[in-house]
Amino acid sequence: MAQRYKMTLAYDGTRYAGWQVQPGEKTVQGELEFALEELTGESPRVQGSGRTDAGVHARAQVVHFELLGPKDPGRLTLGLNAVLDRDIRVDKVRRASASFDARRSATGKQYRYLIWNGPIVPPNLRLYRTHVSRPLDLDAMKESAGMLLGTNDFSAFTANPNRHVPSTCRTLRRMEVRGNGKEVTLIAESEGFLYKMVRSLAGFLIRVGRGEVSSVETEEILKSKTRTARVPTAPPEGLWLWNVFYSKRIRLPAVNR
Amino acid sequence: MAQRYKMTLAYDGTRYAGWQVQPGEKTVQGELEFALEELTGESPRVQGSGRTDAGVHARAQVVHFELLGPKDPGRLTLGLNAVLDRDIRVDKVRRASASFDARRSATGKQYRYLIWNGPIVPPNLRLYRTHVSRPLDLDAMKESAGMLLGTNDFSAFTANPNRHVPSTCRTLRRMEVRGNGKEVTLIAESEGFLYKMVRSLAGFLIRVGRGEVSSVETEEILKSKTRTARVPTAPPEGLWLWNVFYSKRIRLPAVNR
């Protein structure tokens, strides 16, 4: 009988054409499926909690997959890390119930958008931060973030509002702006995000921080439900899938883990 | 008349065959000289405070060079950063007196050796930390570091003790082991280091931390003045040139900076 597994992993998205398998492209999902096949002889589909775009990183992506042959989770972790390139690292594999679904069972996700706000980016951070050289007005950004918080129609903050989505309403349960020296961190948490929503929020907040858009325009832009030049898509390298949340109920009792 | 400049820069050593110009190889010194030539039309030699090996990083390398045509230091910084790849970043250029020499005027240098001590290295740190998966015994490493501190003949901690060096005695004025979660940092500071000395110290301290060599053997190894298998050369990716120190006297008065 098939056994389902829940796996947590981190990746550096620099070398990948994003999460999702695409013909002729190197993708994170593709690399994981290839490694599982090499390790087990089976060809399971690896289902992620969601896609990430090319160049976007994950601190803790969560996936599920099924294997027919019994495998020890600890050995799977070691085996996958031996087969995978070092820019994808498996943090943990555990057995999951057949009802666990990395995407559908998730109760929320946290993304962080990391900005280096100084004249030069330290070379070792150049692929993991978005560079904004002039000082950002964090107070204006915080004010704007406060207006984005909560339930809104985020049509003005998605890259392709014409896609067939049942609703463009989402609830941002966290939208924070934090400054620590030259590091500026945007934290966005929601049960679900629209396509390129976090990079749109980041692109907008950076414009506010630069003084190019006033924070008071935030509500007006939300109400307009229309994407305009005031909301650019921020570059991928600053974006990190930071955490995926699940309710405790979906896990197996401790004795079966 | 020629004007001398002091420049501070950071680099990610991953893509370079080290600091020093070598025919047919991409080096940091070579890139800087190329960029200066592109920018000024002159071909100055760039003299560093010291060499770094292939794969070794610098948080703050210091160099000097001379230009005939007058240049504004701020514009030189911007111009160089525009020409150079993003894995080399110029932090600051200032005018220096003709007697300033990045190597000879230095009163000391600090290197840090950064270790990731956990089962997996976060993908974004893989090129900037040395990976040691099993928990290191920091107390043993600190004990050993304490014995290395001070003035010693470091023949047992250099890669090639047969080179013509006037003396193999050096004074480690700092030799610290710091732990912070999974980050372990070795800090070595001295007026001067022997060839591959820091990586040898790191290789030895890691062996002590793993329990493969006892910290009490430290003094015996120093006294032996002989390089043995107990002192391996730790990999380059964990090594960072952290700081170069100069006495204030060599600087120009504030009005001329």
Range B3-104: architecture per CATH: 2-Layer Sandwich (3.30)
Q: Cβ contact (<8 Å) for B87 and A11? A: no
Among the partner residues B88, B123, B126, nearest to A123 by beta-carbon distance: B88
- B163 CB-contact burial (10 Å; exposed 0-12 / middle 13-18 / buried 19+): exposed
Check CB contact of A88 with chain B, cutoff 8 Å.
Answer: yes
Q: Cβ contact (<8 Å) for B120 and A11? A: no
Dist. CA B112–CA B187, nearest whole Å: 5
Question: Which one of A114, A124, A126 would you mutate to disrupt binding with B, by most B Cβ within 10 Å of its Cβ?
Answer: A124
In chain A, which residues have their Cβ closer than 8 Å to the Cβ of B86?
121, 123, 126
Question: Distance, in angstroms, between B107 CA and closest chain A CA?
Answer: 25
One fold for A3-104 and A108-242: yes
Q: Cβ contact (<8 Å) for A123 and B90? A: no
Which stretches does DSSP call E strand in chain A?
A: 3-11, 47-48, 57-67, 88-96, 106-116, 130-131, 150-153, 169-180, 183-190, 239-246
Question: Distance, in angstroms, between A73 CA and closest chain B CA?
Answer: 15
In this predicted model, what pLDDT tens digit does every residue of B62-86 receive, in sequence order?
999 999 999 999 999 999 999 999 9
Chain A: residue nearest B82 by CA? A120
Dist. CA A146–CA B243, nearest whole Å: 41
CA dihedral A14, A18, A19, A20 (to 10 degrees): -150
Exactly one of A53, A87, A91, A101 is catalytic; name it: A53
In this predicted model, what pLDDT tens digit does every residue of B16-40 receive, in sequence order?
999 999 999 999 999 999 999 999 9
Chain A: residue nearest B80 by CA? A120
- B128 CB-contact burial (10 Å; exposed 0-12 / middle 13-18 / buried 19+): buried
Averaged over B183-206, what is the pLDDT? 97
Per-residue pLDDT tens digits of chain A, which is 257 residues long: 899 999 999 999 999 999 999 999 999 999 999 999 999 999 999 999 999 999 999 999 999 999 999 999 999 999 999 999 999 999 999 999 999 999 999 999 999 999 999 999 999 999 999 999 999 999 999 999 999 999 999 999 998 756 677 899 999 999 999 999 999 999 999 999 999 999 999 999 999 999 999 999 999 999 999 998 899 999 999 999 999 999 976 455 454 44
In chain B, which residues have their Cβ closer than 8 Å to the Cβ of A90?
120
Q: Could you state, in order of their start, the residue ranges of all structural domains in chain A?
A: 3-104, 108-242
Give the ipTM.
0.91
Averaged over B115-120, what is the pLDDT? 97
Those residues with Cβ within 8 angstroms of residue A108's Cβ, 6 or more apart along the chain or in another chain = A173, A189, A190, A191, A244, A245
| Element housing B62 (H / E) | strand B57-67
CATH T-level assignment (fold) for domain B110-242: Alpha-Beta Plaits (3.30.70)
In chain A, which residues have their Cβ closer than 8 Å to the Cβ of B91?
120
In this structure, are residues B100 and B64 in contact, taking their beta carbons and an 8 Å threshold? Answer: yes
Those residues with Cβ within 8 angstroms of residue A176's Cβ, 6 or more apart along the chain or in another chain = A142, A145, A185, A186, A187
Question: Distance, in angstroms, between A122 CA and closest chain B CA?
Answer: 7
Is the overall model pTM greater than 0.90, yes or no?
A: yes
In chain A, which residues have their Cβ closer than 8 Å to the Cβ of B55?
none
Q: Which of residues 21-60 of B touch A (CB under 8 A)?
A: 57, 59
Long-range pairs for A145-150: beta carbons < 8 A, 24 or more residues apart? A145/A175, A145/A176, A145/A177, A145/A186, A145/A205, A146/A175, A147/A215, A147/A218, A147/A219, A147/A222, A148/A172, A148/A175, A148/A201, A148/A218, A148/A222, A149/A173, A149/A174, A149/A175
In chain B, which residues have their Cβ closer than 8 Å to the Cβ of A16?
none
> Hey, what are A79's tokens?
């085996």
Say yes or no to pLDDT of B60 above 90. Answer: yes
Q: Cβ contact (<8 Å) for A123 and B81? A: no
In this structure, are residues A84 and A90 in contact, taking their beta carbons and an 8 Å threshold? Answer: yes
Q: Taking the CB of residue B167, how many other CB atoms lie within 10 A of it?
A: 9
Question: Distance, in angstroms, between B37 CA and closest chain A CA?
Answer: 22
In chain A, which residues have their Cβ closer than 8 Å to the Cβ of B124?
12, 57, 127-128
Chain B: residue nearest A58 by CA? B123
Residue A55 φ/ψ region, left for φ over 0, alpha for ψ in the -120 to 50 degree band, beta for the rest:
left
Q: Cβ contact (<8 Å) for B123 and A10? A: yes
- CB pairs A-B closer than 8 Å: 50
In chain A, which residues have their Cβ closer than 8 Å to the Cβ of B82?
none
Closest by CA to B231, choosing from B253, B252, B206, is: B206
Check CB contact of A83 with chain B, cutoff 8 Å.
Answer: no
Question: Distance, in angstroms, between A155 CA and closest chain B CA?
Answer: 33
Active site residue B53: yes
- Is A108-242 a domain of CATH 3.40.50.10470? no
